[in-house]
A and B are shown apart, each in its own frame.
Chain A
């Protein structure tokens, strides 16, 4: 039994006077206990909206959510606000991209952690304070006894992100969703945070959904990777399969277009033509067709389905041939 089962999730934003905008469309995936799953995509691919929908953090008005999200046998989408609040923070934790705007600037970091502990684990303030210091120590904040009384602005970006992780893990959630947790950080700090995350996740057997645009982050961390484009999953595979034999032209193109540290220099990159457009249409055909080197007539007239193929899920009429799929830089 999967810990989290997302079935046919769709999010449509509606606003008076404008056409409804489908941000997420028919997204299905599941997460096993202790598993790390990646959601990769560029801006506008719907990866963040997917995570907000799972957490019930989208506004009630203006966003129409369809499908189902089952978390250990409970349907999350139909829970009341109160029931959801009870779950969030206890069973589900979330780490956001920008640690400064997700921490309250006028409350000490210690209080922001103890708040969670008092509410969800029923601790007294004294107990919670001891536990908070321990949590801060575990996420690698130096001198936690003193830092616990400091305010977010007194910490550096990397340390703030550690505090957020401490808050998210305070109640030992079964599932942690990390939305671009290292994008705002420098590369050496990113390495610290990523290794901290994977260490904590494997220690506590927490499942992790990693949302990022950085394929490098996914390559080292995730078991299963979902690649999203225009609100839909276009390819899903185990990480080795995905990176070594990408089949969807989008995944393939992305991997070909990024400069790599380990590739020979001097050759021009192979970019994907065009750019991500705002109004992506899946109704008429494949949304990637305008940018796809493999596009044929059928791509323009018939939306492809997500089908099992070659040990993976693939949404494409003309996938990259298996022989060509080896990305050269990777070898």
Chain B
């Protein structure tokens, strides 16, 4: 038991947990554990400062997740693949929020899951704090999970209805050897609940007794319970009422500042992503089409898809709405099982050219300070040398 705690301590690198073990039961423990909660706390100062520097926490290189399509009952054979995530390179710096946007079916959720190895990537690498996560196995993989947590979209279905809040929160701590005695665990739980704005009395309640916003707070507390460095938040507010979304968004930001957390926020709502993220990646059919700082992405989108996406978001301001020039895309998202040749957006792109677009897949290339775009003609479009044209909608079958 003591050994195990010691190992955990090594992983955490705080040292305080081990001392807690020795003086288990004492009142001091509570405060000490509280201190340990700030694993990120100590880091937050330099984390914030280094957000702009090259202090990289996660590097994703050529990540691929292809799901096989199988036919046949007895003799199962693979007849094709769904290219859910098809070659993604990105880096997430310590202490920053990276926003991943895209429409349904673009692979953003699979990307987040592949990064955490909740689905097994079929290619590429994920390096988390100098450790190649993609080669980890068994116990080392399980231990590495403590540092990467996830917040899900639907807080009701991601919380076990038959577990009390206390048991939900303690489960993860126990799995990672972080519950070091009754008193200290209790103090830690109260502190966790307090940090997400819930009263102590919530410990003995069950998920159904809470409102949607409160449930999402429990989901956040559960992720925080194991003192992670990275939190992948998949659509953290889209199931919530408009008036409650802001509460949860503010809470996420406040926790990041206090604990020095790094976020990967996956969402379809561009206004939400822009609000919370430092940098944004836009996904289309399994790959990144553009990446830039949040401000630049909205001020000067370069990829035709980003332009269309931004122009499609309704703004709650009639004056803006009246004057807005919309770029309406025609047709639907092509099937990721049968993606178009060349640039995957060429079937719907209003700036499509006769050469390159339908034959060569564009690389995600650097076009300015940290601004990357995957379009052959990005500069020409930006300079106005190419103009928009009509696109004939192509038929898309959802099941092929």
Q: Which residues of A approach B to under 8 Å, CB–CB?
A: 42-43, 140, 142-143, 147, 153-159, 186-192, 194-195, 213-220, 239-240, 243-244, 253-255, 257-262, 265, 268-273, 275-277, 291, 329-330
> Are A191 and B328 CB-contacts (below 8 A) given A219-B316, A257-B246, A276-B241?
yes
A243 touches B317 (CB 8 A): yes
Distance in angstroms from A206 CB to nearest chain B CB is 21
CB-CB nearest in chain A for B211: A275
> Could you say which residues of chain A place their CB within 8 Å of the CB of B246?
257-259, 269-272
Number of contacting residues on B, CB 8 A? 57
B274 touches A219 (CB 8 A): no
Known contacts A154-B397, A268-B253, A291-B243; 18 further A-B pairs (Cβ under 8 A): A140-B393, A154-B398, A156-B398, A188-B328, A189-B103, A219-B317, A220-B321, A257-B242, A259-B274, A260-B271, A260-B315, A260-B317, A268-B250, A269-B249, A271-B243, A271-B250, A273-B247, A330-B319
Distance in angstroms from B278 CB to nearest chain A CB is 10
A220 touches B318 (CB 8 A): yes
> Could you say which residues of chain A place their CB within 8 Å of the CB of B270?
187, 261
B243 touches A276 (CB 8 A): yes
Distance in angstroms from B115 CB to nearest chain A CB is 23
Mark interface residues in B376-400 (1 if CB within 8 Å of A CB, else 0): 0000000000000000111111110
Distance in angstroms from A133 CB to nearest chain B CB is 15
A187 touches B271 (CB 8 A): no
Distance in angstroms from A318 CB to nearest chain B CB is 18
> Could you say which residues of chain B place their CB within 8 Å of the CB of A291?
243
B312 touches A190 (CB 8 A): yes
CB-CB nearest in chain A for B237: A259
B245 interface contact, C-beta 8 A: yes
A186 touches B103 (CB 8 A): yes
A216 touches B314 (CB 8 A): yes
B310 touches A261 (CB 8 A): yes
A192 touches B329 (CB 8 A): yes
- Within 266-315 of B, Cβ neighbours of A (below 8 Å) are at 268, 270-272, 274-276, 294-295, 298, 308-315
> Could you say which residues of chain A place their CB within 8 Å of the CB of B317?
219, 243-244, 260, 262, 329-330
The distance in angstroms between the C-alpha atoms of A157 and B104, with both chains bound, is: 11
> Are A275 and B314 CB-contacts (below 8 A) given A188-B329, A259-B274, A269-B275?
no
> Could you say which residues of chain B place their CB within 8 Å of the CB of A329?
317
B322 interface contact, C-beta 8 A: yes
The distance in angstroms between the C-alpha atoms of A218 and B317, with both chains bound, is: 9
> Could you say which residues of chain A place their CB within 8 Å of the CB of B5?
none
> Could you say which residues of chain B place their CB within 8 Å of the CB of A143?
395
A158 touches B318 (CB 8 A): no
The 9 A-B residue pairs with the shortest CB-CB distance in the complex, in nearest-first order:
A216-B314, A220-B321, A259-B275, A271-B246, A257-B246, A191-B312, A186-B103, A269-B246, A215-B316
Partner of B399, one of A153, A194, A217, A260: A153
CB-CB nearest in chain A for B393: A142
B134 interface contact, C-beta 8 A: no
B214 touches A188 (CB 8 A): no
The distance in angstroms between the C-alpha atoms of A191 and B331, with both chains bound, is: 12
B318 touches A42 (CB 8 A): no
> Could you say which residues of chain A place their CB within 8 Å of the CB of B333?
156, 186
> Are A261 and B242 CB-contacts (below 8 A) given A156-B396, A156-B398, A275-B211?
no
> Could you say which residues of chain B place their CB within 8 Å of the CB of A239?
318
The distance in angstroms between the C-alpha atoms of A155 and B329, with both chains bound, is: 17
CB-CB nearest in chain B for A186: B103
> Could you say which residues of chain B place their CB within 8 Å of the CB of A271?
243-247, 250
A259 touches B272 (CB 8 A): yes
> Could you say which residues of chain A place their CB within 8 Å of the CB of B328?
188, 191-192, 195
B332 interface contact, C-beta 8 A: yes
B318 touches A186 (CB 8 A): no
The distance in angstroms between the C-alpha atoms of A258 and B238, with both chains bound, is: 12
Partner of B316, one of A142, A153, A260: A260
> Could you say which residues of chain B place their CB within 8 Å of the CB of A218?
316
Q: Would you list 13 pairs from A and B whose C-beta atoms are within 8 A, ordered by A residue?
A: A188-B312, A191-B314, A219-B315, A219-B318, A220-B324, A239-B318, A240-B319, A258-B246, A259-B272, A262-B315, A262-B320, A275-B211, A291-B243
The distance in angstroms between the C-alpha atoms of A262 and B394, with both chains bound, is: 32
Distance in angstroms from A93 CB to nearest chain B CB is 23
CB-CB nearest in chain A for B322: A220
B228 interface contact, C-beta 8 A: no
The distance in angstroms between the C-alpha atoms of A182 and B157, with both chains bound, is: 24
B249 touches A240 (CB 8 A): no
> Could you say which residues of chain A place their CB within 8 Å of the CB of B104?
186
> Could you say which residues of chain B place their CB within 8 Å of the CB of A186?
103-104, 268, 333
Distance in angstroms from A76 CB to nearest chain B CB is 30
> Could you say which residues of chain A place their CB within 8 Å of the CB of B294?
265
Distance in angstroms from B163 CB to nearest chain A CB is 22
A216 touches B295 (CB 8 A): no
The distance in angstroms between the C-alpha atoms of A239 and B316, with both chains bound, is: 10
- Within 87-123 of B, Cβ neighbours of A (below 8 Å) are at 103-104
B131 interface contact, C-beta 8 A: no
> Are A243 and B316 CB-contacts (below 8 A) given A258-B245, A269-B246?
yes
